[in-house]
Structure 1
Amino acid sequence: MWYGHSYVGQGRKNIPMWFWLFALIGFYFLFRWYWYRQTLQNLTDKYVFITGCDSGFGNLLARQLDGRGLRVLAACLTQRGEEQLKEATSQRLQTIILDVTDSENVTAAANWVKQQVRDRGLWGLVNNAGIAVPFAPNEWLTKDDFMKILNVNLLGLIEVTLSLLPLIRKAKGRIVNISSVAGRISFLGGGYNISKYGVEAFSDSLRRELCSFGVKVSIIEPGSFKTVIVNPKYIGEIVPKIWSRLPAETKESYGQDFSKYFKKIRILGMMSNSKLTLVTDCMEHALTAVHPHTRYSAGWDAKLIYLPLSYLPTALVDFLIALT
């Protein structure tokens, strides 16, 4: 018996360390998979307010959540966008016209949401409304060019959020803010990157403030996707207009071949992903999962290029961007 006991003990000692390491890693990913795949019950009783539903991510998300039976309150900028969304969804979905840069409009929309949700509170707010142009080398732009983007992407987002916070806090709900990989890496001049860095900062502070109230805040960081926001035709029209208004001295400094300053945009356009559900699935998970992520990276370029780049030393990132 002594020999048998010694043999078994010796066998256990001979189990290689890599086996336990792989077992531990496997257990971690299995637990993580189970933890994040749990979804909430009674979704049909929950109201979600989404901005920027005329097209793109907001429009697709509204239809996606409506299909799952949630009570979607969709804000569109135009009447046409509102009508088209109604035609594509059920009668549960309600719409309202909203310009997030208009404070009176935001207040009216908040009151409308309050009437819709009543005592339930607002389960979800998705701040999706956003614009990307004008962009150019910073020296080419004016303060108004910067403010045009900041008013929509950052200040409008903040005002909508603040106006609805009491309803979200009451429901112990979710806030989902649409940022971008541009909130991690700044490739271009103009207000877009600045606005997305601001969304990241606002979301982080908001998440920490509201944690004790049971409210969760998630940030979506998409890579490059084929949406109206980066329409090549629109970009092709606005860039020459910006160039044409520059003083002769500035044009001379930068050279007449101004198109080379938008090479990065052409590269981004070629890398753009047409599968918008990669983003809306992240939004949906943030709203319907028991344990939502703090941040979601959507798109292969976000995961394999921009996210790793954001962790590299600044000097190295500057060098790599200069090569493009």
Structure 2
Amino acid sequence: MWLYLVALVGLWTLLRFFRERQVVSHLQDKYVFITGCDSGFGNLLARQLDRRGMRVMAACLMEKGAEELRNKTSDRLETVILDVTKTESIVAATQWVKERVGDRGLWGLVNNAGISIPLGPNEWMKKQDFASVLDVNLLGMIEVTLSMLPLVRKARGRVVNVSSVMGRVSLFGGGYCISKYGVEAFSDSLRRELSYFGVKVAIIEPGGFKTCVTSSDRLSSNTKMIWDKASSEVKEIYGEKFLLFYLKNLNELDQKCNKDLSVVTDCMEHALTACHPRTRYSAGWDAKFFFLPLSYLPTFLVDALLYWTSMKPEKAL
């Protein structure tokens, strides 16, 4: 009995290994549009796909980021300035892409642009603090996708949405975790709808990675700013000791983050180039062996585990 089970698992593993290594043909003719290429995952992915010979269209927020990216890549790569929170900017970028891809359509759309701050306990924040993150991470992603979909459908291509393990287990307040839960929901509904047209949708769920937009110094300074803007009542309830406790936990989380961003961009590349991409990619050992299993546990167990493994405020000093 056990021998048959082992043989079945082994056969399934070999089949999956074979399927996942089948690559789409004529990659050099495929156009890929990536948002958030100033730095981090988007910047590295743009350079990675360019080295592979694909036609990369990289969207950056600032001209400085676009210029630096062009200097590191071939003449095939083109850049455009895009603010995903502004409809007119998205419309202009879509027209720019349409002029370049023509009747071939857009093979890959990678929704990578995102921000993590403001970040902190929910009670310290105002509505606008939540909205500023949702506008980029969720609503901006949705509008870019809806605008580009006709081009992706024409190519029977791919949509790759960057979520997070925080879209499975929410560890802190603010708009970031909320936005990533939204990315998961939007991607699931989009995948089922577009399957009728031969379009595949993949979700990338990175664990903790050290990028310039998530450095501990930036997170700490932002949290302090949120604290400074909080009401006197909130400050009295939480106290300076809780602030120090929160900042120390942020610093400890940052120290555990992976510096190898290629772990994530390799998942993105596979989602764009494999004949049989996965629906979800858990990038990083923490994502695979901690957050993913944690997300399947009963809620009361997750709450208890996170409570007892986190440091208590009174021990922060």
TM-score by length of 1: 0.94
Alpha-carbon shift at residue 18 of structure 1 (Å)? 2.3
- Corresponding residue for 2:115? 131
Alpha-carbon shift at residue 125 of structure 1 (Å)? 0.1
- Corresponding residue for 2:13? 29
Q: Which amino acid aligns with 2:51?
A: G
Q: Distance in 2 between matches of 1:64 and 1:102?
A: 28
- Corresponding residue for 2:65? 81
Alpha-carbon shift at residue 171 of structure 1 (Å)? 0.4
Q: Is the 8 A contact 2:220 2:250 kept in 1?
A: no
Aligned residues: 308
Q: Distance in 1 between matches of 2:64 and 2:270?
A: 29
For residues 281-301 of structure 1, the C-alpha deviation after alignment (integer angstroms, 9 at most, x for no partner) is: 000000000000000000010
Q: Which amino acid aligns with 2:216?
A: P
Alpha-carbon shift at residue 25 of structure 1 (Å)? 1.3
Alpha-carbon shift at residue 245 of structure 1 (Å)? 1.9
When residues 96 and 150 of structure 1 are mapped into structure 2, their CA distance, relative to the original with a 3 A threshold, is: same
Q: Distance in 2 between matches of 1:318 and 1:306?
A: 13
From 128, 132, 136, the equivalent of 1:144 is: 128
Q: Distance in 2 between matches of 1:233 and 1:260?
A: 15
From 205, 230, 233, the equivalent of 2:217 is: 233
Q: Distance in 1 between matches of 2:137 and 2:104?
A: 28
Q: Distance in 2 between matches of 1:262 and 1:144?
A: 22
Q: Distance in 1 between matches of 2:249 and 2:131?
A: 23
Alpha-carbon shift at residue 263 of structure 1 (Å)? 4.2
- Corresponding residue for 1:283? 268
Most deviating of 115-124 and 256-265: 256-265
Q: Distance in 2 between matches of 1:141 and 1:54?
A: 28
Q: Is the 8 A contact 2:220 2:247 kept in 1?
A: no
Alpha-carbon shift at residue 320 of structure 1 (Å)? 1.0
- Corresponding residue for 1:315? 300
Q: Distance in 2 between matches of 1:188 and 1:67?
A: 37
Does 2:82 align with 1:121?
Answer: no
TM-score by length of 2: 0.96
- Corresponding residue for 1:204? 188
- Corresponding residue for 2:147? 163
Q: Which amino acid aligns with 1:269?
A: D
Q: Distance in 2 between matches of 1:262 and 1:32?
A: 43
- Structure 2: tracts of 5 or more residues without a match: 311-317
Alpha-carbon shift at residue 322 of structure 1 (Å)? 1.0
Q: Which amino acid aligns with 1:70?
A: M
Name the SS of the counterpart of 1:156 in structure 2: helix
Alpha-carbon shift at residue 239 of structure 1 (Å)? 1.6
- Corresponding residue for 1:7? none
Q: Distance in 2 between matches of 1:229 and 1:103?
A: 24
Alpha-carbon shift at residue 265 of structure 1 (Å)? 2.2
- Structure 1: tracts of 5 or more residues without a match: 1-16
Aligned-residue Cα RMSD (Å) equals 0.9
Larger Rg: 1
Q: Distance in 2 between matches of 1:223 and 1:313?
A: 21
Name the SS of the counterpart of 2:240 in structure 1: coil
